[in-house]
Structure 1
Amino acid sequence: MDNPAVASPIDIDDLREPQIRLYGLSNADGVYTFYHDETNNIRRLHINAGRLNVAELSVFVLGGLVHEGGPRPIELQALREAMRIQKSAGEIKLQHVAKGGFLDVLGSRKLTTFLQWIAGSELTIHYHQLDPLYWSIVDIIDSILPNLGDPGLFPYHVLLKSDLAMVLRCDIGATVHLFHAYGYPGLAPEGRKPFLQQLVELVDYHKAVLPTDNAMILRSVLRAGRSLKSLDFIEGYPSNLLIEEFSTFYLGRIALFKNSSHVFDMEDNIRGLLLKSPLTSNGRPVTSFRFADSKHEPGIQLSDVVVGVLGKMHSYFTHTERDEVAEDRAALNEVGLENAVLLRDLISRSHKTNIGFLNHVANMHDLDKLNLFLRFLDGIYA
Protein backbone atom coordinates (compact mmCIF):
# COMPACT_ATOMS: atom_id res chain seq x y z
CA MET A 1 0.00 0.00 0.00
CA ASP A 2 1.49 3.32 -1.06
CA ASN A 3 1.91 6.05 1.51
CA PRO A 4 0.31 9.30 0.30
CA ALA A 5 2.75 11.54 2.20
CA VAL A 6 5.90 10.88 0.18
CA ALA A 7 8.96 12.91 1.17
CA SER A 8 12.20 13.58 -0.68
CA PRO A 9 14.34 10.55 -1.63
CA ILE A 10 17.13 9.42 0.68
CA ASP A 11 20.48 8.45 -0.85
CA ILE A 12 21.60 5.50 1.27
CA ASP A 13 25.23 5.95 0.17
CA ASP A 14 25.30 9.20 2.13
CA LEU A 15 24.37 7.17 5.21
CA ARG A 16 26.66 4.18 4.76
CA GLU A 17 29.97 5.73 3.72
CA PRO A 18 30.60 7.60 7.01
CA GLN A 19 29.92 4.38 8.95
CA ILE A 20 32.30 2.38 6.77
CA ARG A 21 35.09 4.93 7.24
CA LEU A 22 34.50 5.45 10.95
CA TYR A 23 34.43 1.77 11.90
CA GLY A 24 36.68 0.33 9.19
CA LEU A 25 33.97 -1.96 7.82
CA SER A 26 35.68 -3.83 5.00
CA ASN A 27 32.94 -6.35 4.15
CA ALA A 28 29.89 -4.10 3.88
CA ASP A 29 29.66 -4.76 0.12
CA GLY A 30 29.15 -8.49 0.61
CA VAL A 31 25.97 -10.22 -0.53
CA TYR A 32 23.94 -11.61 2.35
CA THR A 33 20.33 -12.31 3.27
CA PHE A 34 19.27 -10.76 6.57
CA TYR A 35 16.16 -11.75 8.49
CA HIS A 36 15.10 -9.08 10.98
CA ASP A 37 12.76 -8.93 13.94
CA GLU A 38 12.64 -6.48 16.81
CA THR A 39 11.93 -6.34 20.50
CA ASN A 40 11.25 -3.50 22.93
CA ASN A 41 10.28 -0.98 20.26
CA ILE A 42 8.50 1.65 22.33
CA ARG A 43 7.68 3.68 19.15
CA ARG A 44 8.85 6.94 20.70
CA LEU A 45 10.26 8.17 23.99
CA HIS A 46 9.02 11.42 25.45
CA ILE A 47 8.28 13.14 28.73
CA ASN A 48 4.70 14.05 29.54
CA ALA A 49 3.62 15.74 32.77
CA GLY A 50 7.04 15.09 34.25
CA ARG A 51 7.03 11.35 33.47
CA LEU A 52 8.35 9.11 30.74
CA ASN A 53 5.71 7.63 28.48
CA VAL A 54 6.94 4.11 29.36
CA ALA A 55 7.03 2.50 32.79
CA GLU A 56 10.49 0.94 32.37
CA LEU A 57 13.26 1.44 29.84
CA SER A 58 14.33 -1.76 28.12
CA VAL A 59 16.95 -2.22 25.44
CA PHE A 60 15.72 -2.10 21.84
CA VAL A 61 17.11 -4.84 19.60
CA LEU A 62 16.71 -5.14 15.84
CA GLY A 63 18.31 -8.26 14.45
CA GLY A 64 18.04 -11.96 13.88
CA LEU A 65 19.79 -14.28 11.48
CA VAL A 66 21.83 -13.84 8.32
CA HIS A 67 23.43 -16.11 5.73
CA GLU A 68 25.68 -15.56 2.76
CA GLY A 69 24.18 -15.19 -0.70
CA GLY A 70 20.65 -14.59 -1.83
CA PRO A 71 17.44 -15.85 -0.20
CA ARG A 72 17.03 -19.61 0.08
CA PRO A 73 14.63 -21.97 1.87
CA ILE A 74 15.12 -22.58 5.59
CA GLU A 75 13.71 -25.88 6.80
CA LEU A 76 12.42 -25.84 10.39
CA GLN A 77 10.72 -29.19 10.78
CA ALA A 78 13.72 -30.91 12.38
CA LEU A 79 14.11 -28.03 14.84
CA ARG A 80 10.41 -28.04 15.70
CA GLU A 81 10.58 -31.75 16.43
CA ALA A 82 13.74 -31.43 18.52
CA MET A 83 12.14 -28.65 20.56
CA ARG A 84 8.83 -30.56 20.78
CA ILE A 85 6.79 -27.66 19.52
CA GLN A 86 3.16 -28.64 19.09
CA LYS A 87 1.77 -28.86 15.59
CA SER A 88 -0.96 -26.41 16.56
CA ALA A 89 1.68 -23.68 16.95
CA GLY A 90 1.71 -21.93 13.60
CA GLU A 91 5.19 -20.53 14.08
CA ILE A 92 8.19 -20.65 16.39
CA LYS A 93 8.36 -17.78 18.86
CA LEU A 94 10.35 -17.07 22.01
CA GLN A 95 7.42 -18.12 24.18
CA HIS A 96 7.83 -21.67 22.83
CA VAL A 97 11.46 -21.69 23.97
CA ALA A 98 11.43 -20.00 27.36
CA LYS A 99 9.64 -17.43 29.50
CA GLY A 100 10.64 -14.98 32.20
CA GLY A 101 13.69 -12.77 32.61
CA PHE A 102 17.11 -13.34 31.12
CA LEU A 103 18.34 -15.72 33.81
CA ASP A 104 15.10 -17.73 33.55
CA VAL A 105 15.48 -17.94 29.78
CA LEU A 106 19.11 -18.95 30.09
CA GLY A 107 18.07 -21.96 32.17
CA SER A 108 15.87 -23.39 29.42
CA ARG A 109 16.91 -26.70 27.86
CA LYS A 110 14.86 -25.77 24.79
CA LEU A 111 17.10 -22.74 24.38
CA THR A 112 20.08 -25.11 24.36
CA THR A 113 18.49 -27.04 21.52
CA PHE A 114 17.76 -23.85 19.63
CA LEU A 115 21.26 -22.38 20.02
CA GLN A 116 22.91 -25.69 19.11
CA TRP A 117 20.79 -25.86 15.96
CA ILE A 118 21.86 -22.33 14.96
CA ALA A 119 25.49 -23.14 15.72
CA GLY A 120 25.32 -26.22 13.51
CA SER A 121 23.67 -24.40 10.62
CA GLU A 122 25.03 -22.01 8.00
CA LEU A 123 23.23 -19.18 9.75
CA THR A 124 24.85 -16.42 11.79
CA ILE A 125 23.27 -13.99 14.24
CA HIS A 126 23.29 -10.22 13.70
CA TYR A 127 21.82 -7.38 15.70
CA HIS A 128 21.67 -3.67 16.44
CA GLN A 129 21.20 -2.92 20.14
CA LEU A 130 20.18 0.44 21.57
CA ASP A 131 19.90 1.61 25.17
CA PRO A 132 17.26 4.36 24.92
CA LEU A 133 18.63 6.33 27.88
CA TYR A 134 22.17 6.31 26.49
CA TRP A 135 20.93 7.35 23.04
CA SER A 136 18.92 10.15 24.64
CA ILE A 137 21.87 11.76 26.44
CA VAL A 138 24.87 11.39 24.09
CA ASP A 139 24.11 14.76 22.48
CA ILE A 140 24.98 16.49 25.75
CA ILE A 141 28.63 15.48 25.45
CA ASP A 142 28.62 15.89 21.66
CA SER A 143 27.40 19.47 22.11
CA ILE A 144 30.25 20.32 24.46
CA LEU A 145 33.40 18.41 23.55
CA PRO A 146 34.10 19.68 19.99
CA ASN A 147 33.79 23.29 21.15
CA LEU A 148 36.19 23.17 24.10
CA GLY A 149 39.31 23.35 21.95
CA ASP A 150 40.97 20.47 23.78
CA PRO A 151 41.75 17.59 21.37
CA GLY A 152 43.18 15.64 24.28
CA LEU A 153 39.61 15.00 25.45
CA PHE A 154 38.40 13.46 22.18
CA PRO A 155 39.65 9.93 22.97
CA TYR A 156 37.41 10.00 26.06
CA HIS A 157 34.19 10.95 24.32
CA VAL A 158 32.63 7.47 24.55
CA LEU A 159 33.72 7.08 28.16
CA LEU A 160 32.30 10.51 29.05
CA LYS A 161 28.94 9.55 27.53
CA SER A 162 29.03 6.22 29.34
CA ASP A 163 29.85 7.83 32.67
CA LEU A 164 27.10 10.43 32.26
CA ALA A 165 24.61 7.65 31.45
CA MET A 166 25.64 5.79 34.60
CA VAL A 167 25.09 8.90 36.72
CA LEU A 168 21.69 9.71 35.20
CA ARG A 169 20.59 6.09 35.56
CA CYS A 170 21.11 6.24 39.35
CA ASP A 171 17.86 8.13 39.77
CA ILE A 172 15.69 8.03 36.66
CA GLY A 173 12.99 10.05 38.39
CA ALA A 174 15.38 12.93 39.12
CA THR A 175 16.78 12.74 35.59
CA VAL A 176 13.33 12.95 34.02
CA HIS A 177 12.39 15.82 36.33
CA LEU A 178 15.52 17.71 35.26
CA PHE A 179 14.88 17.09 31.57
CA HIS A 180 11.26 18.17 31.91
CA ALA A 181 12.19 21.36 33.76
CA TYR A 182 14.45 22.53 30.93
CA GLY A 183 12.55 21.04 27.99
CA TYR A 184 15.48 18.76 27.12
CA PRO A 185 16.54 18.17 24.38
CA GLY A 186 15.14 21.55 23.35
CA LEU A 187 16.89 23.84 25.82
CA ALA A 188 16.35 27.58 25.62
CA PRO A 189 19.60 29.63 25.57
CA GLU A 190 18.95 30.91 29.07
CA GLY A 191 18.62 27.33 30.30
CA ARG A 192 22.06 26.29 29.07
CA LYS A 193 24.12 27.22 32.13
CA PRO A 194 21.69 26.14 34.89
CA PHE A 195 20.97 22.83 33.11
CA LEU A 196 24.66 21.94 32.98
CA GLN A 197 25.13 23.13 36.56
CA GLN A 198 22.44 20.73 37.73
CA LEU A 199 24.15 17.93 35.82
CA VAL A 200 27.36 18.78 37.67
CA GLU A 201 25.47 18.53 40.95
CA LEU A 202 24.11 15.11 39.97
CA VAL A 203 27.65 13.95 39.19
CA ASP A 204 28.75 15.15 42.62
CA TYR A 205 25.84 13.40 44.31
CA HIS A 206 26.31 10.07 42.51
CA LYS A 207 30.09 10.16 42.07
CA ALA A 208 30.47 6.88 43.96
CA VAL A 209 29.23 4.97 40.88
CA LEU A 210 32.28 6.13 38.92
CA PRO A 211 36.03 5.82 39.41
CA THR A 212 37.33 9.02 41.01
CA ASP A 213 39.22 10.21 37.92
CA ASN A 214 36.21 9.56 35.68
CA ALA A 215 33.95 11.65 37.88
CA MET A 216 36.47 14.49 37.96
CA ILE A 217 36.86 14.60 34.16
CA LEU A 218 33.12 14.39 33.54
CA ARG A 219 32.52 17.14 36.06
CA SER A 220 35.14 19.41 34.48
CA VAL A 221 33.73 18.89 30.97
CA LEU A 222 30.19 19.74 32.09
CA ARG A 223 31.44 22.79 33.97
CA ALA A 224 33.40 23.97 30.93
CA GLY A 225 30.28 23.60 28.81
CA ARG A 226 28.56 26.32 30.83
CA SER A 227 30.70 28.99 29.14
CA LEU A 228 29.88 27.93 25.58
CA LYS A 229 27.76 30.20 23.41
CA SER A 230 25.55 27.33 22.28
CA LEU A 231 24.89 23.63 22.74
CA ASP A 232 24.17 22.75 19.14
CA PHE A 233 22.50 19.36 19.54
CA ILE A 234 20.28 20.10 22.54
CA GLU A 235 18.97 23.59 21.79
CA GLY A 236 16.10 24.48 19.51
CA TYR A 237 14.68 20.98 19.22
CA PRO A 238 11.19 19.83 20.27
CA SER A 239 10.91 19.91 24.04
CA ASN A 240 10.86 16.61 25.94
CA LEU A 241 10.97 14.43 22.79
CA LEU A 242 13.88 12.09 23.47
CA ILE A 243 13.39 9.59 20.62
CA GLU A 244 10.94 10.38 17.84
CA GLU A 245 10.84 6.94 16.21
CA PHE A 246 12.98 3.90 15.41
CA SER A 247 12.86 3.63 11.61
CA THR A 248 16.32 5.17 11.32
CA PHE A 249 17.83 1.95 12.69
CA TYR A 250 16.06 -0.13 10.05
CA LEU A 251 17.30 2.31 7.45
CA GLY A 252 20.83 2.03 8.78
CA ARG A 253 20.93 -1.74 8.25
CA ILE A 254 19.54 -1.44 4.72
CA ALA A 255 22.07 1.27 3.88
CA LEU A 256 25.14 -0.41 5.38
CA PHE A 257 24.52 -3.74 3.65
CA LYS A 258 23.04 -2.27 0.48
CA ASN A 259 23.98 -5.24 -1.73
CA SER A 260 22.15 -7.66 0.54
CA SER A 261 18.52 -8.73 0.85
CA HIS A 262 16.64 -7.65 3.98
CA VAL A 263 13.47 -9.39 5.12
CA PHE A 264 11.71 -7.61 8.00
CA ASP A 265 8.85 -8.77 10.16
CA MET A 266 5.70 -6.88 9.22
CA GLU A 267 5.64 -3.68 11.26
CA ASP A 268 3.10 -1.32 9.73
CA ASN A 269 4.45 1.72 11.56
CA ILE A 270 8.04 1.17 10.43
CA ARG A 271 6.97 0.20 6.92
CA GLY A 272 4.95 3.40 6.60
CA LEU A 273 7.88 5.55 7.79
CA LEU A 274 10.31 3.93 5.35
CA LEU A 275 7.90 4.32 2.42
CA LYS A 276 7.56 8.05 3.09
CA SER A 277 11.04 8.69 1.70
CA PRO A 278 12.02 6.60 -1.35
CA LEU A 279 15.48 5.09 -0.94
CA THR A 280 18.00 5.46 -3.75
CA SER A 281 21.59 4.41 -4.49
CA ASN A 282 23.50 5.87 -7.42
CA GLY A 283 20.25 7.41 -8.57
CA ARG A 284 18.39 4.09 -8.69
CA PRO A 285 15.58 2.91 -6.39
CA VAL A 286 16.58 0.59 -3.56
CA THR A 287 14.47 -2.56 -3.74
CA SER A 288 16.56 -4.85 -1.53
CA PHE A 289 14.16 -4.92 1.41
CA ARG A 290 10.64 -6.16 2.09
CA PHE A 291 8.26 -6.75 4.97
CA ALA A 292 6.74 -10.18 5.42
CA ASP A 293 4.39 -12.18 7.63
CA SER A 294 6.49 -14.25 10.02
CA LYS A 295 4.15 -17.22 9.61
CA HIS A 296 5.43 -17.60 6.08
CA GLU A 297 9.07 -16.72 6.76
CA PRO A 298 11.07 -19.26 8.81
CA GLY A 299 13.98 -16.82 8.99
CA ILE A 300 11.82 -14.27 10.80
CA GLN A 301 10.51 -16.92 13.20
CA LEU A 302 14.05 -17.81 14.17
CA SER A 303 14.88 -14.13 14.46
CA ASP A 304 12.02 -13.64 16.94
CA VAL A 305 13.77 -16.03 19.32
CA VAL A 306 17.19 -14.49 18.73
CA VAL A 307 16.17 -10.88 19.40
CA GLY A 308 13.95 -11.94 22.28
CA VAL A 309 16.88 -13.55 24.08
CA LEU A 310 19.26 -10.70 23.23
CA GLY A 311 16.76 -8.06 24.30
CA LYS A 312 16.33 -9.72 27.68
CA MET A 313 20.10 -10.13 28.03
CA HIS A 314 21.01 -6.52 27.32
CA SER A 315 18.12 -5.18 29.40
CA TYR A 316 19.37 -7.34 32.27
CA PHE A 317 22.78 -5.67 32.02
CA THR A 318 21.29 -2.17 32.10
CA HIS A 319 19.20 -2.97 35.19
CA THR A 320 21.78 -4.99 37.14
CA GLU A 321 24.85 -3.79 39.01
CA ARG A 322 28.20 -5.24 37.98
CA ASP A 323 28.78 -7.11 41.24
CA GLU A 324 25.37 -8.75 40.98
CA VAL A 325 26.09 -9.76 37.38
CA ALA A 326 29.25 -11.48 38.60
CA GLU A 327 27.31 -13.27 41.34
CA ASP A 328 24.59 -14.39 38.92
CA ARG A 329 27.22 -15.73 36.53
CA ALA A 330 28.88 -17.72 39.32
CA ALA A 331 25.51 -19.18 40.35
CA LEU A 332 24.52 -20.52 36.91
CA ASN A 333 23.53 -24.18 36.78
CA GLU A 334 24.75 -26.61 34.14
CA VAL A 335 22.11 -25.63 31.57
CA GLY A 336 22.66 -21.92 32.14
CA LEU A 337 26.41 -22.30 31.73
CA GLU A 338 25.99 -24.25 28.51
CA ASN A 339 23.66 -21.64 27.07
CA ALA A 340 25.99 -18.81 28.11
CA VAL A 341 28.83 -20.50 26.23
CA LEU A 342 26.62 -21.08 23.18
CA LEU A 343 25.56 -17.41 23.17
CA ARG A 344 29.15 -16.27 23.56
CA ASP A 345 30.32 -18.44 20.68
CA LEU A 346 27.50 -17.30 18.39
CA ILE A 347 28.30 -13.64 19.08
CA SER A 348 32.02 -14.28 18.53
CA ARG A 349 31.31 -16.11 15.27
CA SER A 350 29.18 -13.22 14.09
CA HIS A 351 31.93 -10.72 14.88
CA LYS A 352 34.52 -12.86 13.11
CA THR A 353 32.32 -13.26 10.03
CA ASN A 354 31.65 -9.54 9.66
CA ILE A 355 32.17 -6.87 12.30
CA GLY A 356 29.28 -4.94 10.78
CA PHE A 357 26.86 -7.64 11.92
CA LEU A 358 26.96 -6.35 15.51
CA ASN A 359 26.21 -2.77 16.47
CA HIS A 360 25.87 -1.51 20.03
CA VAL A 361 24.55 1.89 21.06
CA ALA A 362 25.21 1.42 24.75
CA ASN A 363 27.51 2.62 27.45
CA MET A 364 30.88 0.97 27.92
CA HIS A 365 30.06 -0.18 31.44
CA ASP A 366 27.18 -2.34 30.21
CA LEU A 367 29.37 -3.85 27.49
CA ASP A 368 31.86 -4.66 30.23
CA LYS A 369 29.09 -6.60 32.00
CA LEU A 370 28.46 -8.48 28.75
CA ASN A 371 32.08 -9.59 28.69
CA LEU A 372 32.03 -10.35 32.41
CA PHE A 373 29.01 -12.63 32.01
CA LEU A 374 29.75 -14.36 28.70
CA ARG A 375 33.55 -14.46 29.14
CA PHE A 376 34.76 -14.06 25.59
CA LEU A 377 37.81 -16.16 24.92
CA ASP A 378 40.01 -13.24 23.90
CA GLY A 379 39.26 -11.51 27.19
CA ILE A 380 37.36 -8.61 25.66
CA TYR A 381 33.98 -8.08 24.11
CA ALA A 382 34.04 -9.62 20.64
Structure 2
Amino acid sequence: MIDLFQRYSFPNVGPERRRDFIDEVLGLAEVRSDLLEHFNYMMLKGVLQLGRKIKSLPFLEAETSNVLVDSFGHFFLERLYILKNASHILDVEELVIEYLKDVTFVDGKRKMNHFRFVVSHSEPGIQISDVVVGLLGKYFSFICATADDDLVNVRQTLKPQQQMNLSLLFDILERSVEENPVFAHAIMSIRDRAMSEEFRAPA
Protein backbone atom coordinates (compact mmCIF):
# COMPACT_ATOMS: atom_id res chain seq x y z
CA MET A 1 0.00 0.00 0.00
CA ILE A 2 2.83 2.41 0.79
CA ASP A 3 4.36 1.83 -2.63
CA LEU A 4 0.94 2.32 -4.22
CA PHE A 5 0.31 5.54 -2.32
CA GLN A 6 3.70 6.94 -3.28
CA ARG A 7 3.31 6.12 -6.97
CA TYR A 8 -0.06 7.86 -7.14
CA SER A 9 0.85 10.79 -4.83
CA PHE A 10 -2.03 9.72 -2.59
CA PRO A 11 -4.35 11.37 -1.65
CA ASN A 12 -3.81 13.70 -4.63
CA VAL A 13 -4.43 10.95 -7.19
CA GLY A 14 -6.27 13.22 -9.62
CA PRO A 15 -9.06 12.44 -12.11
CA GLU A 16 -6.71 11.19 -14.84
CA ARG A 17 -5.20 8.39 -12.74
CA ARG A 18 -8.17 7.64 -10.53
CA ARG A 19 -9.32 4.58 -12.51
CA ASP A 20 -5.83 3.03 -12.49
CA PHE A 21 -5.51 3.68 -8.76
CA ILE A 22 -8.85 2.05 -8.00
CA ASP A 23 -7.99 -0.93 -10.21
CA GLU A 24 -4.76 -1.49 -8.27
CA VAL A 25 -6.51 -1.20 -4.90
CA LEU A 26 -9.14 -3.64 -6.15
CA GLY A 27 -6.40 -6.02 -7.27
CA LEU A 28 -4.79 -5.90 -3.82
CA ALA A 29 -8.14 -6.54 -2.18
CA GLU A 30 -8.82 -9.53 -4.43
CA VAL A 31 -5.41 -11.09 -3.73
CA ARG A 32 -5.95 -10.73 0.03
CA SER A 33 -9.69 -11.39 0.15
CA ASP A 34 -9.14 -14.29 2.56
CA LEU A 35 -8.07 -11.78 5.23
CA LEU A 36 -11.58 -10.29 5.34
CA GLU A 37 -14.94 -11.76 6.19
CA HIS A 38 -16.70 -12.58 2.93
CA PHE A 39 -19.44 -9.97 3.42
CA ASN A 40 -16.90 -7.24 4.21
CA TYR A 41 -14.80 -8.16 1.20
CA MET A 42 -17.82 -8.06 -1.11
CA MET A 43 -18.83 -4.66 0.26
CA LEU A 44 -15.31 -3.30 -0.29
CA LYS A 45 -15.18 -4.76 -3.79
CA GLY A 46 -18.56 -3.25 -4.64
CA VAL A 47 -17.59 0.20 -3.38
CA LEU A 48 -14.35 0.12 -5.40
CA GLN A 49 -16.21 -0.99 -8.53
CA LEU A 50 -18.70 1.85 -8.07
CA GLY A 51 -15.79 4.25 -7.64
CA ARG A 52 -14.63 3.45 -11.17
CA LYS A 53 -17.84 4.93 -12.60
CA ILE A 54 -18.18 8.11 -10.51
CA LYS A 55 -17.07 11.27 -12.29
CA SER A 56 -15.41 12.82 -9.26
CA LEU A 57 -14.00 11.42 -6.01
CA PRO A 58 -13.33 14.48 -3.81
CA PHE A 59 -10.95 12.76 -1.38
CA LEU A 60 -8.69 11.68 -4.25
CA GLU A 61 -8.50 15.05 -5.99
CA ALA A 62 -7.23 18.53 -5.13
CA GLU A 63 -5.54 17.23 -2.00
CA THR A 64 -1.98 17.67 -0.76
CA SER A 65 0.26 14.95 -2.20
CA ASN A 66 1.73 12.41 0.20
CA VAL A 67 0.01 13.81 3.32
CA LEU A 68 -2.22 11.22 4.96
CA VAL A 69 -3.10 13.22 8.09
CA ASP A 70 -2.31 16.91 8.26
CA SER A 71 -3.99 17.55 11.60
CA PHE A 72 -5.97 15.93 14.39
CA GLY A 73 -8.02 19.09 14.70
CA HIS A 74 -11.12 17.47 13.23
CA PHE A 75 -11.26 15.10 16.21
CA PHE A 76 -11.53 18.14 18.48
CA LEU A 77 -14.14 19.68 16.19
CA GLU A 78 -16.27 16.55 16.31
CA ARG A 79 -16.32 16.48 20.11
CA LEU A 80 -17.05 20.19 20.32
CA TYR A 81 -19.91 19.93 17.82
CA ILE A 82 -21.53 16.82 19.24
CA LEU A 83 -21.15 17.73 22.93
CA LYS A 84 -22.36 21.27 22.46
CA ASN A 85 -23.85 21.57 25.96
CA ALA A 86 -20.65 20.56 27.73
CA SER A 87 -17.85 22.80 28.96
CA HIS A 88 -14.66 21.55 27.35
CA ILE A 89 -11.31 22.04 29.04
CA LEU A 90 -8.45 21.38 26.63
CA ASP A 91 -4.75 21.02 27.26
CA VAL A 92 -2.66 23.81 25.77
CA GLU A 93 -1.43 22.53 22.41
CA GLU A 94 -0.35 25.18 19.95
CA LEU A 95 -1.39 23.21 16.85
CA VAL A 96 -4.90 22.72 18.21
CA ILE A 97 -5.15 26.35 19.28
CA GLU A 98 -4.12 27.42 15.78
CA TYR A 99 -6.60 24.99 14.20
CA LEU A 100 -9.54 26.25 16.27
CA LYS A 101 -8.74 29.97 16.42
CA ASP A 102 -10.83 30.87 13.36
CA VAL A 103 -13.67 28.43 14.01
CA THR A 104 -16.97 29.88 15.22
CA PHE A 105 -19.39 27.50 16.92
CA VAL A 106 -23.07 28.33 16.76
CA ASP A 107 -26.25 26.62 17.89
CA GLY A 108 -28.98 28.17 15.81
CA LYS A 109 -28.36 31.88 16.23
CA ARG A 110 -26.56 31.47 19.54
CA LYS A 111 -22.78 31.79 19.44
CA MET A 112 -21.14 29.23 21.69
CA ASN A 113 -18.05 29.71 23.79
CA HIS A 114 -17.91 26.30 25.40
CA PHE A 115 -14.23 25.43 25.45
CA ARG A 116 -11.03 26.82 26.87
CA PHE A 117 -7.36 25.90 26.99
CA VAL A 118 -5.48 25.44 30.25
CA VAL A 119 -1.98 24.33 31.22
CA SER A 120 -2.30 20.72 32.30
CA HIS A 121 -0.44 21.05 35.61
CA SER A 122 -3.12 23.48 36.82
CA GLU A 123 -6.04 21.23 35.90
CA PRO A 124 -6.44 17.89 37.77
CA GLY A 125 -9.02 16.65 35.25
CA ILE A 126 -6.52 16.89 32.39
CA GLN A 127 -3.86 15.17 34.49
CA ILE A 128 -6.22 12.28 35.18
CA SER A 129 -7.31 12.06 31.54
CA ASP A 130 -3.65 11.99 30.42
CA VAL A 131 -3.04 8.96 32.63
CA VAL A 132 -6.19 7.14 31.46
CA VAL A 133 -5.60 7.92 27.77
CA GLY A 134 -1.95 6.88 28.07
CA LEU A 135 -2.97 3.58 29.67
CA LEU A 136 -5.62 2.90 27.03
CA GLY A 137 -3.17 3.81 24.27
CA LYS A 138 -0.66 1.25 25.53
CA TYR A 139 -3.42 -1.35 25.95
CA PHE A 140 -4.71 -0.97 22.39
CA SER A 141 -1.17 -0.82 20.96
CA PHE A 142 -0.50 -4.13 22.70
CA ILE A 143 -3.72 -5.64 21.29
CA CYS A 144 -2.88 -4.46 17.75
CA ALA A 145 0.73 -5.69 17.83
CA THR A 146 0.13 -9.11 19.39
CA ALA A 147 -0.93 -12.25 17.52
CA ASP A 148 -4.34 -13.69 18.41
CA ASP A 149 -2.96 -16.89 19.95
CA ASP A 150 -0.44 -14.94 22.02
CA LEU A 151 -3.23 -12.71 23.33
CA VAL A 152 -5.17 -15.76 24.48
CA ASN A 153 -2.07 -17.10 26.25
CA VAL A 154 -1.34 -13.79 27.93
CA ARG A 155 -4.95 -13.46 29.07
CA GLN A 156 -4.84 -16.91 30.67
CA THR A 157 -1.66 -16.09 32.62
CA LEU A 158 -2.84 -12.84 34.21
CA LYS A 159 -2.52 -12.82 37.98
CA PRO A 160 -5.61 -12.14 40.12
CA GLN A 161 -4.63 -8.51 40.76
CA GLN A 162 -4.06 -7.94 37.04
CA GLN A 163 -7.46 -9.45 36.25
CA MET A 164 -9.06 -7.21 38.88
CA ASN A 165 -7.34 -4.10 37.46
CA LEU A 166 -8.48 -4.95 33.92
CA SER A 167 -12.01 -5.50 35.17
CA LEU A 168 -12.01 -2.17 37.05
CA LEU A 169 -10.69 -0.30 34.02
CA PHE A 170 -13.41 -1.62 31.75
CA ASP A 171 -16.05 -1.06 34.40
CA ILE A 172 -15.14 2.64 34.28
CA LEU A 173 -15.34 2.62 30.48
CA GLU A 174 -18.72 0.88 30.49
CA ARG A 175 -20.14 3.34 33.02
CA SER A 176 -18.91 6.20 30.83
CA VAL A 177 -20.73 4.79 27.81
CA GLU A 178 -23.87 4.23 29.88
CA GLU A 179 -23.69 7.89 30.90
CA ASN A 180 -23.47 8.98 27.27
CA PRO A 181 -22.78 6.70 24.26
CA VAL A 182 -21.05 9.63 22.53
CA PHE A 183 -18.19 9.29 25.03
CA ALA A 184 -17.14 6.14 23.17
CA HIS A 185 -14.93 6.96 20.22
CA ALA A 186 -12.52 4.56 18.56
CA ILE A 187 -10.92 4.01 15.19
CA MET A 188 -10.02 0.34 15.11
CA SER A 189 -10.15 -2.58 12.74
CA ILE A 190 -12.81 -5.24 13.27
CA ARG A 191 -10.10 -7.68 14.39
CA ASP A 192 -8.60 -5.30 16.94
CA ARG A 193 -12.01 -4.46 18.38
CA ALA A 194 -12.93 -8.16 18.65
CA MET A 195 -9.62 -9.10 20.30
CA SER A 196 -9.93 -6.18 22.71
CA GLU A 197 -13.34 -7.49 23.80
CA GLU A 198 -12.04 -11.05 24.07
CA PHE A 199 -8.97 -10.03 26.07
CA ARG A 200 -11.06 -8.22 28.65
CA ALA A 201 -13.44 -11.16 29.11
CA PRO A 202 -12.87 -13.40 32.13
CA ALA A 203 -10.21 -16.05 31.53
- TM-score tier, shorter chain, comes to 0.7 to 0.9
**Aligned residues between the structures:** 202
User: Which amino acid letter does the alignment assign opposite residue 251 of structure 1?
Assistant: L
TM-score, normalized by length of structure 1?
A: 0.49
Question: In the alignment, what sits opposite 2:99?
Answer: 273
User: Which amino acid letter does the alignment assign opposite residue 164 of structure 2?
Assistant: E
Question: In the alignment, what sits opposite 2:77?
Answer: 251
Question: In the alignment, what sits opposite 1:361?
Answer: 187
Question: In the alignment, what sits opposite 1:319?
Answer: 145
Distance 1:268 1:191, change over 3 A: same
RMSD (Å) for aligned C-alpha atoms: 2.2
How far did residue 298 of structure 1 move? 1.0
TM-score, normalized by length of structure 2?
A: 0.87
Matches within 5 A, 1:175-324: 175-324=1-150
Matches within 5 A, 1:1-382: 175-375=1-201
Distance 1:227 1:330, change over 3 A: same
Question: Which has more helix, going by share of residues?
Answer: 2
Instruction: Check whether the contact 1:294–1:301 (CA below 8 A) recurs between aligned residues.
Output: yes
Instruction: Check whether the contact 2:143–2:195 (CA below 8 A) recurs between aligned residues.
Output: yes
Instruction: Check whether the contact 1:343–1:374 (CA below 8 A) recurs between aligned residues.
Output: no
Distance 1:283 1:221 in 2: 39
How far did residue 348 of structure 1 move? 1.0
Distance 1:324 1:291, change over 3 A: same
Distance 1:194 1:310 in 2: 40
Distance 1:184 1:214 in 2: 24
Distance 1:237 1:285 in 2: 31
Instruction: Check whether the contact 1:344–1:375 (CA below 8 A) recurs between aligned residues.
Output: no
SS, match of residue 166 in structure 2: helix
Distance 2:43 2:73 in 1: 35
SS, match of residue 226 in structure 1: helix
How far did residue 201 of structure 1 move? 2.3
The answer for unaligned runs of 5 or more in structure 1 is: 1-174, 377-382
Instruction: Check whether the contact 2:18–2:60 (CA below 8 A) recurs between aligned residues.
Output: no
How far did residue 356 of structure 1 move? 1.2
Distance 1:227 1:279, change over 3 A: closer
Identity across matched positions, percent: 35
SS, match of residue 189 in structure 1: coil
Q: Tell which has more relative contact order, 1 or 2 (C-alpha 8 A, sep 6+).
A: 1
